Amino acid sequence: MEHTTVIHAEGLTRHFGDTIAVDRISFDVQAGEVFGFLGHNGAGKTTTIRVLNGVLDATAGKVEVLGLSPNAQGPALRRRTGVLTETPSLDDRLTARDNLRIYANLYDVPQDQVQSRVDEMLALFELSERADDKVGEFSKGMRQRLALARALIHQPELLFLDEPTSGLDPVASKQVRDLIDRLSEEGRTIFLCTHNLTEAQRLCDRVAVLEEGQIIALGNPRELGDQMGISLPLEIEVAADQINAACELLSSIEHATDVRARGSVINVSGLHRTDIPLAIERLVSTNIAIFQVTPGEASLESVYLALHRDEEAA
């Protein structure tokens, strides 16, 4: 597969007086990827988004987005990117439709396409029925959907989402996550800042973990889990009449913490990916018939917690 680099950051740094908000970070984002940017509050996520969009200048380092320099070619860049800021400002006195229309004009959507584009966005974000109501009356979830619709009105190829589900209830969060999934399936590149690890695990192809302005880990959740020796759940299906023998063998493997059987399926916790061949070998050498082995994914949460344990120990 051919890779096109959409974002290239090299030694990107941003200071605010004595505060080093972003400290020499380097990463690339490829076309079509959902790239997660994770970190506690104050880690430097929002500052990075603002530099990548040319809203703030970098103090040092090199940045290229869609082949453009955000600092020198900001307006040209922003015509091709959509941004959902942390606290999007909508005009409460205007209707949902007018909020979108104004943005469409601002972003040079051709006049003869504005109406259809606005209608399409309202439908996609399930706001058609409330299109002509003032936004001041909208719930938080509806406002967030409208803000996302607005960020997409000019069909940007690259989308920056800064904590898109923070402050939303579980139902609204899920709606927003499903929309992000759908946008990603359409081939859009998404740069997603979040401190929600479950969300990142579900949505992201790769993540960068940011701490005090520095990237302390970068990769897909599985790679990170492997590198750090994080355990993953393992499901093994064996012949039903051999289940007890199989459980006993699996319990004797060094890292296994919990072994549970249900019917002919065994769930093992605590094993590392590198333990899987050993587990299979033990079962096979005892003539246990294996029908299926399904490793789960190391949870991003365990990766994240392990990273922070290492940091504290250092």
Ligand X SMILES: Nc1ncnc2c1ncn2[C@@H]1O[C@H](COP(=O)(O)OP(=O)(O)O)[C@@H](O)[C@H]1O
Binding site for Mg ion (CB under 5 A): 45-46
Strands annotated E in 66-221:
81-84, 158-162, 189-194, 206-211, 214-219
From the list 40-48, 57-65, 227-235, 306-314, the region that binds ligand X by CB under 6 A is 40-48
From the list 37-45, 99-107, 109-117, 141-149, the region that binds ligand X by CB under 6 A is 37-45
Per CB under 6 A, contacts with ligand X among 285-304 are none
Judged by CB under 6 A, the number of residues near ligand X is 11
Six token digits for residue 235 = 């499901």
Q: Among 5, 19, 115, 251, which residue sits at the site for ligand X (rule: CB under 6 A)?
A: 19
Q: Which does 16 bind (CB under 5 to 8 A by kind): Mg ion, ligand X, none?
A: ligand X
Closest separation in Å from C-beta 147 to ligand X: 17
- Compute the distance between CA of residue 48 and CA of residue 85 in angstroms, rounded to an integer: 12
From the list 5-13, 15-23, 113-121, 287-295, the region that binds ligand X by CB under 6 A is 15-23
Which one, 213 or 225, has the nearer CB to Mg ion?
Answer: 213
Six token digits for residue 132 = 């002509």
Strands annotated E in the chain:
5-16, 19-30, 34-38, 60-65, 81-84, 158-162, 189-194, 206-211, 214-219, 234-238, 258-262, 265-269, 290-295
Pick from 136, 133, 157: which is nearest to 30 by CA? 157
CB 290 within 8 A of CB 282: no
Sign of the Cα torsion 194, 197, 199, 202 reads positive
CB 9 within 8 A of CB 26: yes
Cα 278 to its chain centre, rounded Å, is 33
173: contact with ligand X by CB under 6 A = no
The SS3 assignment for 270 reads: coil
Per CB under 6 A, contacts with ligand X among 177-196 are none
Closest separation in Å from C-beta 37 to ligand X: 8
From the list 36-44, 134-142, 184-192, 255-263, the region that binds ligand X by CB under 6 A is 36-44
From the list 41-49, 95-103, 250-258, 274-282, the region that binds ligand X by CB under 6 A is 41-49
Q: Among 42, 67, 136, 229, which residue sits at the site for ligand X (rule: CB under 6 A)?
A: 42
Give me the 44-83 binding string for ligand X, x by CB under 6 A, dash otherwise: xxxx------------------------------------
Q: How many helices (H) and strands (E) does the chain have?
A: 11, 13
User: Which residues of this chain interact with ligand X, rule CB under 6 A?
Assistant: 16, 19, 21, 39, 41-47
